[in-house]
Structure 1
Amino acid sequence: MDFRTLGKTGFKVSEVSLGTWQLGSKWGDPFDPRDAADTLAAAYESGVNYFDTADIYQDGHSEHAVGEFIKQHPDVHYSTKMGRKLEPHTAANYSKANLTDFVDSSLSNMGVESLDLVLLHCPPTSVYYDPEVFFTLDEMKRAGKIQNYGVSVERVEEAMKALQFDISAVEIIFNMFRLRPEEQFFAEAQAANVGILARVPLASGLLSGKYTATTQFGKGDHRSFNRNGEAFDKGETFSGVNYETGITAVSELKRRLGTEDLAGMALRYILMYDAVSAVIPGASKPEQITANAAAAELPAFSKEQMAIVRDVYDQYIKDPVDYLW
């Protein structure tokens, strides 16, 4: 496992890190603290030293599990996200009082005195035009409650707008089916010394290459109930790609890249970009961790392979995905 610097944080983080949306559970299942501990331990043993969590993941249990783990492994860094607990989730509710409460709650959940990195959790677009939100984060940074802050975004335009503030990192969807960030944001982030965490790297599993047109997902799985944005931004589910179109594109990628292990190659593809500090695939069991971490050791893509990914994207995915996010 190699390590890269996460922007202004200065943290040296594993190229393949861990997103903890599924930590201690599978899609829609109850939280299991033993599974969570085993997953974190497997990640650490595989060379992972960075965990991404959120206050809303497993109703705070994910934060607690990560907090317990870092007490025993102080060399591990993390980010946590806040804002999605708001009801309603509106820009007006990103108030100083609410932001302070969220940070205090995360400090309590994780059992720490200062948070490594706090990210606004995909707030409404107008939040990026409200400097008071970011000034509040500045205040908490000066007070020592947080060491760094940044944003998790839905759209490239939001990431660009956030660069005017003192952010240390941006978490953004970037994968073989979401290429626009590289075209319009990566260079700007590098110039500002802002780290990039590539989330949803396998397009909700679509880029694992394991699904077919007849694959069924559970009722509690967003891949069943959010394909058209019924519950939250459609871009979070299969990266906004029409499922049937995605299956066709995946088959084409596997054929032209000559692989059945598309998941590993999809993660390795993201690491071809120096602007990316870490890719953060999720995992609900230790075996997935081991497989994900191994992707960092795969050979670099050739120019021909990079061109194949772009060609498949342009043919199947770009319209309308590129224009929406």
Structure 2
Amino acid sequence: MKYRILGKTNLKVSVVGIGTWQFGGEWGKDFNQTEVDAILGRGKELGINLIDTAECYGDHLAEKFIGQATKKDRQDWIIASKFGHHFHGYQNRTNHWGAQEVLKQLEDSLRALQTDYIDLYQFHSGSNESFDQDDLWTMLDKQVQAGKIRHLGISIGKNDNIHQTDAASKFNSEVIQVVYNRLDRAPEREVLPSCEKQNLGVLARVPLASGILSGKYKPGTVFGANDQRSRVERQDILAKQLKEAEEIKLNEVPEGVDMAQWALAWCLKNPVVTSVIPGCKNVAQVESNAKAADLV
């Protein structure tokens, strides 16, 4: 494994982390504690120390799995979580951006994670109106001072959201999380240059384009009804991406190189990117993801 410093946080994070939306049960599979323990345990053996989660991956469900799995070696992990939403069911969330609402979310996340601090607490894909609240960020700063949060970050919803990115330092936010992969390079135009200018850490989410860059899916693939990729409004985009991924595999991925590992390394070859946070459904996928570090 290789490591990079996460912007101005001075946190030393593995260049490959573990994304955990799948633990909330919205990606075609329900998890149990034994499976999560195995995934995170193997990740640690491979040198992974970064976990990204959110309160709305299930109703704190992913956080509960993670808390149980990491409580014995909490100090060895850098845990990033998020705030702003409440999970009610599959693809059903409500938004909650008030300072007191977020404070409650923080307390609930700490309880679920079985910890007294969160390493990175991120504003989660909210509107600019929700973002531009001084009282929200004042409350969060107080939680940093109290030691419940080590660092603040912003997970921008649209990967060209320069308003929130440019305002990061103003609100003492030190990390930007953004969708970035070989199929979606929009952040290169404005967001990544702004991150570099401010010395912000960058977490690249969806680095495998929701599995499209894994090389496993052919054009025409149909996903189950309990899988985020089955959403009707995504089907045209999905069909286009599957076709483009097939061309990338043919023309860009070196012979004998695993496409998923190549795709993760592609993100990491951009020096502004600190770490990629792909999801994984089993131990074999963790092992495969970790090998991407060898290609960087």
Give the TM-score normalised by the residue count of structure 2.
Answer: 0.89
User: Partner residue of 2:119?
Assistant: 116
* Residue type of the alignment partner of 2:194: E
User: Aligned residue for 2:187?
Assistant: 181
Equivalent residues of 1:31, 1:58 under 8 A apart: no
Q: 2:106 aligns with which of 96, 100, 103?
A: 103
- Which residue type is aligned with residue 248 of structure 1? K
The superposition leaves residues 150-206 of structure 1 with CA deviations (integer Å, 9 ceiling, x where unpaired) of 111122223234343200211100000111212212232123221110000011111
**What letter corresponds to residue 266 of structure 1 in structure 2?**
A
Range 23-32 or range 150-159, more displaced = 23-32
Give CA deviations for 1:26-63 in whole Å, capped at 9, x if unaligned. Answer: 72433311101111111111110110111122322321
One-letter amino acid matched to 2:69: F
Relative to structure 1, is the Cα distance of residues 59 and 28 closer, same or farther in structure 2, using a 3 angstrom cutoff? farther
Deviation per CA, 1:236-277, whole angstroms, max 9, x where unpaired? xx9xx7122212211211121244732111101001011111
The DSSP-based 3-state class of the residue aligned with 1:254 is helix
Q: Which runs of 4+ in 1 moved over 6 A?
A: none
Q: Give the letter aligned to residue 37 of structure 2.
A: A
Report the counterpart of residue 32 of structure 2 in structure 1: 32
Structure richer in strand, relative to its length: 2
Moved more, 132-141 or 194-203: 132-141
Aligned to 1:191: 197
Larger deviation, residues 58-67 vs 163-172? 58-67
Q: For the Cα contact (< 8 Å) 1:148–1:168, is it kept in 2?
A: yes
SS in 2 for 1:220: coil
Residues 86 and 96 of structure 1, relative CA distance in 2, 3 Å threshold: farther
Query: Which residue identity lines up with residue 253 of structure 1 in the other structure?
Result: I
* Alpha-carbon RMSD: 2.1
1:287 match: 284
Q: Which residue of the partner structure matches residue 237 of structure 2?
A: 242
CA deviations 1:46-92 (Å, max 9, x no partner) are 110110111122322321222233332222111011112178745xx
Matched residue, 1:78 = 79
Distance (whole Å) between structure 2 residues aligned to residue 263 and residue 271 of structure 1: 13
What secondary structure, in the 3-state scheme, does the structure 2 residue paired with 1:169 have? strand
The equivalent position to 2:264 in structure 1, one of 267, 277, 285, is 267
Show structure 2 runs of 5+ residues with no match: none
1:46 is the counterpart of 2:46: yes
Q: Please give the TM-score of this superposition, normalised by the length of structure 1.
A: 0.82
User: Which residue in 1 is equivalent to 2:178?
Assistant: 172
Cα distance in structure 2, aligned partners of 1:130 and 1:285: 40
Task: Specify the code of the residue in structure 1 equivalent to 2:267.
Answer: I
For residues 197-251 of structure 1, the C-alpha deviation after alignment (integer angstroms, 9 at most, x for no partner) is 00000111111121112322111101112x41xxxxx6xxx9xx71222122112
Please tell me the residue identity of whatever aligns with 1:201: P
| Contact kept? 1:163, 1:189, Cα under 8 Å | no
C-alpha separation in 1, matches of 2:141 and 2:288 = 38
Matched, 1:141 2:144: yes
CA distance in 1, matches of 2:286, 2:140: 33
Asked if structure 2 preserves the Cα contact closer than 8 Å seen for 1:199 and 1:281, the reply is yes
